[in-house]
Structure 1
Amino acid sequence: MNQLKSFSCYILQIGHMYGLHSVFEEFLEMAVCALSLGAKEDRYLEIVRNYEKPDAYLMSEAFGALVMEMDNGGKGLKDCFGDFYMEYISHGHNGQFFTPEPVCDLMARISNPSGVGERVADCCCGSGRMLLAAAKISRDSLFFGADIDRMCAMMCLINLCLNGLLGEVCWMDTLMNRFYAGWGIELHPEHCVPYIREISETESYMVLKLPDKKQEIVDKQVTKLGVSQQLLFEF
């Protein structure tokens, strides 16, 4: 019977006891830790200690249910996070309404990523729907996402990794070019499976490599005009 439950049913059940927002955020971080193949074991154990043992087991069952949902009848590339996030977590705050999947599919067909190793990037990736849509056309591309919301960055990261899509996701303010954390999705050198590796700002492809003086000018202009305005710069 448990296998028929969606991951969202598990999260709602645990969230009723511990608080839905914190449960969902910790579920995402635990998934990232699990997909890091042992590198984040200490952080995983630190989180899981916040839960009674039966509830910790429910978290693992939620992850199993997520994997089965993402399988999508063998086709994969299904975003199981976005609708749940909008309905139960963000409630549309800060304009967090994700692009509907059919629109993502249309935009991906227009851009038509097709080359092996071609980079596909979304600087405001949300749960990663646009990148998943691009992968429906070509899984051989490299996928790059960034979002100012940490939970969104983790949702996108998990979506890419569980679908075997290589690339990078950053938690960052792309308008201000400020990096907070980043992860690469790579093939493990020993096990040859996709895994998550934490990366530094200097390793990141999504961070613009600006001279210090030019970055200072960008920061001043953004502060003066307000972060709600989109600025275009020539680099």
Structure 2
Amino acid sequence: MKPRLATVALPSLFGLFCLTLTLTACGGGTAGTPAPNGSGPIPPNGSAAASTPTPKGEVPAYDDSKLEPGEKKFMDTVWAVTDNRAKLKEADARTVKAVAAAYALECLGEEKDREKFVDEQDTGARMPAADRAKLLASWRSDLCGEADKEAFTKDVALTRQGRQDHDVWGKNAYAVTYKITNSGTGAADYFARIEFLDKDGDFLGSTGALAERLGPGKSSTGEVAPVPAEITNGTLGDIATAKVSEVDRTPKN
């Protein structure tokens, strides 16, 4: 899916949006090119420094009066990582709201689309890794309301794994015994993605482990093994180890 942000029909917003990500230009702008909002030239490619850290204790100083809580958290993150705080500070409440809404359009896609949007901009590749991770995490959780699938990996432990002759999966199967413990305060469904890797640590394929309506503080154990169709980058014989990569936790009333 191609990013939709460049299609937003708000010229003044477009210029601000480009700058809030520490980008010198959108779509390959060059020195002396008028900014879409008419506020001045877009800096030449490569002239902008990576993001300037927010001074310790500094409170974001932009007009957030029209923002919802999630939008506010996200725009605070933008404030923290951008090197164009002055541009954001000058924007009125309507424009700041529109910027947040433009980012939110990308919630219709997948995180890889948001990553691609950032990385394909002129200076996106120069954004410090910590700032990039912070921006994408806030985009995902605060603005899009998506659960961080790595946040609950601690709730799933692989207690045993290795090859064995198994009654269900046959001879020399790579079986994994798991334990899921609900660390939350209410009942929840769990789905854990278990990845299988070769001796070089390269991804081979994955399978899933499930626990339904698991009460708070309670545990569920089980056993899984991949079938040939789940190993798409090699064979069952290539498996050297397994790990938990993502966990979906869905609260249940």
State TM-score, norm by structure 2. Answer: 0.27
Flag the structure with more relative contact order, 1 or 2, with Cα contacts below 8 A and sequence separation at least 6.
2
- Please say which structure displays the higher CA radius of gyration: 2
* Structure number having the greater helix percentage: 1
State TM-score, norm by structure 1. Answer: 0.28
* Structure number having the greater strand percentage: 2
